[in-house]
Amino acid sequence: MRATVIHGAFDVRLEERPDPKIEGPGDAVVKVVASCICGSDLWPYRGENPVKRPRPIGHEFVGVVEEIGAEVRTVKPGDFVIAPFVVSDGTCPHCLAGYQTACQNLVGYGSGKADGGQGEYVKLPYADGTLVATPEPPDDALVPSLLTLSDVMGTGWHAARSARVKAGDTVVVVGDGAVGLCGVLAASRMGAERVVALSRHESRQKLAKEFGATDIIAERGDAARDAVLELTLGVGADAVLECVGTKQSMETAFEVARAGATVGFVGVPHGVEVPIRTMFGRNVGLNGGAAPCRAYLPDLMADVLSGAIDPGKVFDSEIPLNDVAEGYAAMHERRAIKVLLRP
């Protein structure tokens, strides 16, 4: 099979890899229908996370089950399935509590125990604890939105849930990537009265408004803080979604939070320092982390299938797997919000 392998900074290649085979009774082999490139894939692509050796990459995909191990019970060959961005057993105490990304037997895609997601096939363990089948094979038009449930829509939802967004709130979303835009959609879906998106890119501003943003702020840093405070009559936001993971984005998140607010953070932290004195003095909370997308999948899938939400609009580029290197370049250069790959 063909699969994407990262060799180092700015070096991703589509290579021939061994065809996957069932090795354990809980395994499944999935034929990939669509996968995508994640913002977090750009950290190693840019060289900010070291690549010690060539490895398969990709952790977001949907597809059709080809084969299952003898003990798999919840999916069967022919099922269309959504795969959350980590493999979890579904039975450990953390999984049962709804935090599958902290599974005691967590497996990452491309780790050797599971294939990378940006390929033609994926073999993974713990199929029962990980894969979620749709009630019937979906129309192809729904595939992009279902694909977002593997990561970005669930992650945006986790940001809003972690920030304790409730009806009537004023919410600020820091970050205009696919996760931030899905955070806008989540906050709107949860009943926020005002959703302020921080974005300075016209195409992303437009989509943020489609997803429910009531206000757009193009400034960064201190200017963004001042603009939010002006919008909120000096009070700040009831809830803040931090969807980037940089030092500046976290600082902005706390600066625009009102006293007693919660910052929901889902951006993978890079160089972030938590302002504990600000948290103490203003009673601002911090909550979040790696999103347990598996926990949110059933409800979000129902919303997609009913037409209540259409998060697949975050894909503004769809290319064949053969062109995966160009997909990475497009996202790195911000020519694309999110790239969908078709094998």
Within this chain, do residues 167 and 255 fall inside the same structural domain, yes or no? yes
Banded pLDDT at 50 (limits 50, 70, 90): very high
Claim to verify: residue 145 and residue 166 sit in the same structural domain: no
pLDDT computed for residue 80 by the predictor: 98
Are residues 312 and 188 located together in one domain of the fold? no
Domain region containing 242: 155-288
Domain boundary among 270, 288, 306: 288
CATH code at 45? Answer: 3.90.180.10
pLDDT digits (tens, 9 = 90+) for 150-202: 999 999 999 999 999 999 999 999 999 999 999 999 999 999 999 999 999 99
Does one domain contain both 281 and 299? no
Interval 56-68 mean pLDDT: 98
Please count the structural domains in the chain: 2
Domain end (from 269, 288, 307) = 288
The reply to whether 7 and 145 lie within a common domain is yes
- The verdict on 246 and 172 lying in the same domain is yes
pLDDT of residue 54: 97
Band of pLDDT at residue 309, cut at 50, 70 and 90: very high
Do 144 and 9 have their domain in common?
yes
Q: What is the pTM of this model?
A: 0.96
Look up the CATH number of the domain holding residue 189: 3.40.50.720
Query: Domain end: 288, 304, 322, which one?
Result: 288
Summarize pLDDT for 211-257 with one digit per residue, the tens. 999 999 999 999 999 999 999 999 999 999 999 999 999 999 999 99
Residues 23, 143: one domain?
yes
The Cα angle at residue 129 between residues 127 and 133, in degrees rounded to 5? 65
Q: 278 and 299: one domain?
A: no
Residue ranges with strand state E in the chain: 2-8, 11-16, 28-36, 55-56, 61-68, 80-83, 121-124, 132-133, 170-174, 194-198, 215-217, 237-242, 257-265, 285-288, 317-320, 339-342
Same domain flag for 84 and 119: yes
What per-residue confidence (pLDDT) applies to 107?
A: 98
Query: Do residues 10 and 131 both lie within one domain?
Result: yes
Average pLDDT over residues 27-48: 96
